[in-house]
Each structure stands twice: as structure tokens, then as C-alpha cells.
Amino acid sequence: MTAVVAQKGDGSRTYTFASQPRPVQQRKKYRDPLTQENESPTPYGNIMYDRRIVRGNTYAQRTLPATAQPDPIEIQRQQEARRRAIARKRAKAQLKPRSPEPVEGRKHIDVQTELYLEELSDRVEEADVETQTDAFLDRPPSPLFIPAKSGVDVATQILEGELFDFDIEVKPILEVLVGKTVEQALLEVMEEEELSNLRAQQRRFKELRNAELVETQRLEEQERRHREEKERRMKQQAEVLRKEKETGEKISARAFAQSYLADLVPSVFGSLNENGYFYDPVERDVETYFMPWLLEKVEGELNQSVVARTVLDAIIRDVVQKRFEVYHKLEEAARLAAEQEAAARAAEERKIAEEIAAKAAVAAVEETKADEAGEQGDQEAGVEGDGRETADKPEEDSVAGEDVGSEQAPTADTPAESVPKDSEPAEDAAAEEE
């Protein structure tokens, strides 16, 4: 924070610069490279680039514009310098070896690795507080410096032409002008002469260089022609040798083939004739066209007969299946009729047996009553208990007769049930004959 103070005294004004007092940060006695990176740099400034410092004559009037606009070139230069500083800092940070990246799920933390803990009291805890102030006002133009009067004013009058003689004062200037002009003329003449010499030397050098270049190109072209001629002659000679070798090989191969095939041709023709390569046109035509056509027709006829036979087999199978179903139904109906007839016959026989048993029981009862009447007439003076026992015996006999009749009924049913069992095979045989 700066302030401009205008002193008032003896009617004079002076420009004074002062800054507000502020506490000095505590600094360590020695540098610590581990903590030096985290410390904020000390803001140093150069007063040669400070706009608040007045340069030149302090007595002259220094006026500032009412609205001082920053110079865009200066702003761009500052931004470029700041960008370069950031790039250098980033490159330095990249070149500095760092710890490897932590594994997934972990992170690096600062750990105390000293054997004994110590209090770090070098740095004082600070807190930054910011506040928004009004914008700075433009400094008013500095007033003219008017020194105070001192002493006694004295005046001297000098008339025009008393202190200046043109002829005397102009001589040094004329000498300098004439000397400089002559010297400049000599220098220009010498320069023109030197330039002309340089141009002549350059022209001679170019001529010599062009001549050497032409000679070099001529020699290179001559060497190229010689090399191409040499390669062409070598190719021609190689082609001649190749043709001679190929001709010799062909001649030797032809002679060997003639000597080898002299006895081979008759045997080859004989074997080809035996293997059928020399065939009869009519026989070959029959084998090629007639036999395939005949086989195709025969195959068609056979397919038709197979299809007809298949259809006939299907029809016969359907008829047999239907007749089998009809016979099965007839057998089922005959079996049901035989079962019903056997059941009716068994019921009739059971009824007859029951009637016979009832008649036998009635006859036994009547006979028992007749016996009791005879005994009563003969034994009137018998003991009442004996008579009672005699009366009970016929009742037991009647009960036994009823039991015998009931046991004989199943025996009467037995032949009735056996009849249908014997008749079933006869009915099955009749159904099979039908």
C-alpha cells in the first residue's frame, strides 16, 4: 500500500513516496530443501519497472492521463512471461523423480520417519484474509516546481548582436561539414571501386565454375555411355551363350528322344489299342448314348412296378387290418353272449338246487314229527327231562338237514359253472372257422 504525501511548508510542494508498515515474516536461519517448496516465494520487486517511480527531472511537470489504459503489448509480454514460467515449473516437476503410483484402493500419505518426534516450530501459523477495496484513483498531475527566491535580483541588458559573431562561430561547423562531406565522397568512391572489383572477380569465378561444370557433365555423360555400352555388350554375350547352350541341349534331347522312341512307338500303340484308346465308333456310340437311355427306361419301369407293389401292399394291409378289427368285434360279442348264457344257466341250476334242498328239509321235518308222536304214545310216564331231550334231537336233526342242503347247493352249482368254461373253446373254434 503506497501513499502520496504533499508537504505544506513555506508555500512549497514536494512529492514523497512511503509504504504502510507491515510485519516481517519470520524466516529460518538455514534453508530446508524439504519444506522450501511449500513456502510461498518472497515477493521481490524491481523499482526500475515500477510505474510509481518518477524518472528524469523531478522538477518537470509529469502529467498522467485521466483514464490510464494498460498497454496491450505489455500485457501480452507479461502473460507470455507468466506462461513460460509455468511451463518451466511444470517441466521441472516432471523431471523430478517421484514415488511410484499407489496400488488400486490405496493412497500415499506423509509419515514421520524420524526416530524421535520433534516439534516443528519454524513456521508460524498464518491465516490469509482478503477484503475488497475501491479502485485506485488516477494520481493528479504533479504541480510545477517553483523554487523559493533567494538573494537579490540583478539585471543586465544585452543588445542583439553583441555576443554572437557569425563568421567566427560558423568556421568550426563549416570545417566539420566540409570534412565529413569529402570523407563520405571518398568512402563512396572507394566502395564503388571495391564493388566493381568484387563483381569482376565474381564474374571470372562464375565463368570458371561454369566451364568446370560443363567439363564435369561431359565426363559423366561419357562415363555413362561407356557403362551402358559395356552392360549391353555383356548382355548380348550372355544371350548368345544362353542360346548356344539351349540349342545344344535341344539337339541332344532330340537325338536321345529319337533313339529312345524308335522301339517305344509300336509298343505304345499296341498297349493303347489293347486298353481301348483306339475304339470302334459304333460300339462307343452304343456305350455312350444307347446304354444310358436303356438303363434310364428300365429304371423308370422298375420304379413304377415298385410303386404299384407298394400301393398294393398298403391296400392289402388296410383290408387285413379292417377284417381283423371285425373278427375281434365278433369274438368279443360271442364271448359276451357265452358269458351271459353261462350266468343264466348257473342261476337256473342254483334255483333248482334250492328247491330240492327245501323239499328235503320239509320231508325231514315231517318225519321228525311222526317219530315224536309215536314216542309220546309209548312213553307217557317218562321223565319230563328225557322227553325234553327227545324233543330237542329232531330240532338238531332238522338244523343239520338244513346245513347239508346248503352245503349241497354249491356242488349243484359246480357243474353249472363248468359248462360255460367247456363251451368257450367250442365258440372260439366256431368263430375262427367263420
Report the pLDDT value the prediction gives residue 239, as an integer from 0 to 100: 94
Please report the pLDDT score of residue 42 as a whole number.
Answer: 56
Phi, psi of 17 (to 5 degrees): -110, 135
Q: Is 5 helix (H, G, I), strand (E, B) or coil?
A: strand
Which pLDDT does position 217 carry in this prediction? 94
* Residue 357 burial (CB count, 10 A): 19
pLDDT number for residue 222: 94
Question: Can you give the pLDDT at residue 115?
Answer: 66
Q: Which helix (H) or strand (E) holds 6?
A: strand 2-6
Sequence-distant (6+) residues with CB within 8 A of 339 are 420
Residue 415 · residue 349 · CB < 8 Å: yes
Plot region of 84 (φ>0 → left; ψ -120 to 50 → alpha; else → beta): alpha
Say what the pTM is: 0.21
d(C-alpha 379, C-alpha 372), whole Å? 10
Give, for all 434 residues of the chain, the pLDDT tens digit.
444 444 444 444 566 666 777 776 666 666 665 555 555 555 567 777 777 777 776 665 555 554 555 678 888 899 999 999 999 988 887 777 777 787 787 887 777 666 666 666 667 777 888 877 777 777 888 888 888 888 788 888 877 777 778 888 899 999 999 999 999 999 999 999 999 999 999 999 999 999 999 999 999 999 999 999 999 999 999 999 999 999 999 999 998 888 887 777 778 877 887 777 777 778 888 888 888 898 999 999 999 989 999 999 999 999 999 999 998 899 999 989 989 998 998 899 888 988 888 888 888 888 888 877 777 766 665 545 554 544 444 444 544 444 434 444 344 343 334 333 444 444 554 444 54
Tally the C-alpha atoms within 13 A of residue 290's C-alpha that lie toward its C-beta.
7
Q: If you write DSSP's letter for every residue of 351-378 in order, what string do you get?
A: HHHHHHHHHHHHHHHHHHHHHHHHHHHH
